[in-house]
Amino acid sequence: MDRAQKQDAIEALKGVFSGAGAVVVTHYMGLTVAEMTDLRGRLRNEGAQLQVVKNTLATKALNGSIGAEGDALFTGPVAIAFAPDPVSAAKVATQYAKDNDKFTVIGGFMGQQVLDKQSVTALAALPSLDQLRAKLIGLLQAPATKIAGVLQAPGAQLARVMAAYAAKDAA
């Protein structure tokens, strides 16, 4: 890689780090191409991505913004999983790490906060943004549904009484 390509890669990583809700740092040594493709597909289904990075370029892109503790995450064969939603990349990465011994989650960071392995696991246990939106919509719709049921009940009772009288008169 020449100097211009390195600078382009650093700028691309800066964009990734600024646009990601959370970045999960992983080691992937020993994974086959098929396993990496499977992991990338799982991440893509959740709206996340996996990118293998050079450690020096990643630390230069971070420019010390997450401190020495965060820079220490970038040692060995590193791949980063990231998404605009802070939870989705962590969910898929931790689940894949449970299923595959060769893939390990080292840590990560959210904005300026460095996360250790346990913090990433805790982040993965949270509901995703879509799940939270669905719960919120359900909570907002529940009172309207109850009101419609209460307003409809007297009319339905009246209709059942009329049907009973009609059945009685017909018999």
What span, in angstroms and rounded, lies between the C-alpha atoms of 86 and 111? 10
What's the chain's average pLDDT?
A: 85
pLDDT of residue 39: 92
Average pLDDT on 135-148 reads 76
Which 8-state DSSP code applies to residue 126?
Answer: S
pTM of the predicted protein model: 0.71
pLDDT of residue 171: 67
Question: Which pLDDT band holds residue 34 (cuts at 50, 70, 90)?
Answer: very high
Average pLDDT on 46-73 reads 86
Is pLDDT above 90 for 37? Answer: yes
pLDDT digit string (tens) for 66-123?
A: 878 888 888 889 999 998 888 888 999 999 999 888 899 999 888 888 888 888 888 8
What span, in angstroms and rounded, lies between the C-alpha atoms of 80 and 74? 10
Cα dihedral sign for 76, 86, 44, 105? positive
pLDDT of residue 38: 93
Q: How much of the chain exceeds pLDDT 90, in percent?
A: 24
What span, in angstroms and rounded, lies between the C-alpha atoms of 66 and 43? 25
Residues with Cβ within 8 Å of residue 16, at least 6 apart in sequence: 23, 51, 80, 82
